[in-house]
Amino acid sequence: MTKPPAGGNRTGRKIGQKVKKGKLKASSRRWIERHINDPYVQRARLEGYRARAVFKLLEIDEKHAILAGAKRIIDLGAAPGSWSQIAARVTGSTDADPRVAAIDFLEMDPLPGVRIFQMDFLEPDAPRQLIEAVGGTPDLVMSDMAAPTTGHRQTDHLRTMHLCEVAAHFAVEVLGEGGHFLAKTFQGGTEHGLLTMLKQNFRQVIHVKPAASRAESVEMFLLAKGFKGRRPEHAAASDGNADA
């Protein structure tokens, strides 16, 4: 069972540490102080995970069981790799029999059992390489992709929602029946067209805000469970009209 860090002091580090002013900007100093005093950051280090984001995935899985029985997983926007660490563990992926593929335009250190691609997921050849890397049909496509922030909230929202939409269409193209799709989004509204498409293709579509996601963050996760399987276009269109 995944539980919030109790007391935030499992590493022996004191909470409430301050960073000396020095030459740092006030905003940078506040970010560093928040990071080093974050109990999820400390717990991730203690348990050998690459980032605190791992607890977001674990909390979502605890409630929604999206990792149960997964044999192949594709991880989009994977750096630094904490979600891929979990994926390799649950699938039993090894270097000899890789069942997890991870992609990010940022560099990632190697992970046992994970095929890593340092490239932009929007490159035309990226989807093919990911599918070939896992050696079969994935049971879970998960995306922690987010566009680099500009400081303009609406612009950042639209750019990240575009990545979410691209990831969703990829998931519908490659998932096996019964598979799941999980993607980062931002508060401010998921595009109606995207939600409609997901509801046509999955049995359940919800938004999730795990406890490990900072309260002040506009981050949320879009979870689509139980892929219905690929159907002829005319059948999908017919279903869409029936739902209208």
Residues known to be catalytic:
184
Fill in the amino acid letter for 84.
S
What H or E segment, with its residue span, contains residue 74? strand 73-76
What does DSSP say about strands 100-104 and 180-186: parallel, antiparallel, or unpaired?
unpaired
Name the H helices within 25-91.
26-36, 39-47, 54-64, 82-91
Fill in the amino acid letter for 225.
K
Q: Among positive and negative, which fits the CA dihedral 26, 28, 29, 33?
A: positive
Neighbours of 156 (CB within 10 A): 18
Report which of 76, 173, 179 is spatially closest to residue 122, judged by C-alpha positions: 76
Name the H helices within the chain.
26-36, 39-47, 54-64, 82-91, 126-134, 153-174, 192-201, 233-243
Neighbours of 144 (CB within 10 A): 23
On whether the CB atoms of residues 198 and 179 are closer than 8 A, the answer is no
